[in-house]
Amino acid sequence: MFPTDDKRRLWGDATAFEEPHASSSNAPASPDEAQIPAGDPEAPVAPTASTREEQNGDHEQQLERDLDELTAKAQKADEYLELAQRTRADFENYRKRAARETAAAQERGVVKLTRELLPAVDNLDRAVAAAESANNGDDLASGIKLVHAEVVAALSRAGVELFSPQGEKFDPERHEAVAQQPVEGAEPGTIVEVYQRGCRLGDSVIRPARVVVAG
């Protein structure tokens, strides 16, 4: 058995020996560990594989939505372009139709007026022929010739042409035969005399010429 003083010294030494060990368990943490306490909600967290997949999926969905939106806008632009082209074509057709209708109306007006004037022109033709055959050089004959020339010139400015098919081949679309008779030196079907001049507007015959045809 150890003496009491010896035990005290022994246990005291043991207690002194254990104190550093106890104090080491409560030693402060390293500077790095002290800066980021365990369980800090603001500490950065590395993304996991599932998180990256979700982010990639969201990005792809956004791209698909953007692509669908652009496709819809492109289709709408094509529709507007097609509508504009169709409207322009309709307007062009309307313009051409209006021009044709205007020209046709003007032609009908000219034809109607010409038909009203033709009897007067015929009478002036006869008056001029009578004055020339009588060798009448007075002022009345000159006035008749002047009026006749002015009327014919006015018709010509409107596109109306008086024609005399003397010596031409008979054409039933442009000529009206009032008689047919044999004429020496003339081929059959040839116009040998014109009773009344014809009248035409462009290719349209207003009045056929009245003629005598060689038989």
Nearest to residue 213, comparing CAs of 172, 181, 174? 181
Cβ atoms of 172 and 138 closer than 8 Å: no
47-84 pLDDT, tens digit per residue, is 566 676 667 767 778 888 888 888 888 888 888 888 88
Segment 168-188 shows an average pLDDT of: 92
Chain mean pLDDT for the chain: 79
Instruction: Specify the pLDDT at position 5.
Output: 53
Spatial CB neighbours of 162, under 8 Å, sequence gap ≥ 6: 121, 152, 155, 197, 198, 199
Q: What share of the chain is helix, strand, coil (3-state, %, to 5)?
A: 60, 15, 25
For the segment 121-145, the average pLDDT, to the nearest whole number, is: 79
Q: Which residue has the higher pLDDT, 181 or 21?
A: 181
Distance CA 39, CA 32 (A): 14
Regarding pTM above 0.85, the answer is: no
For the domain made up of 159-215, the CATH class stated in words is mainly beta
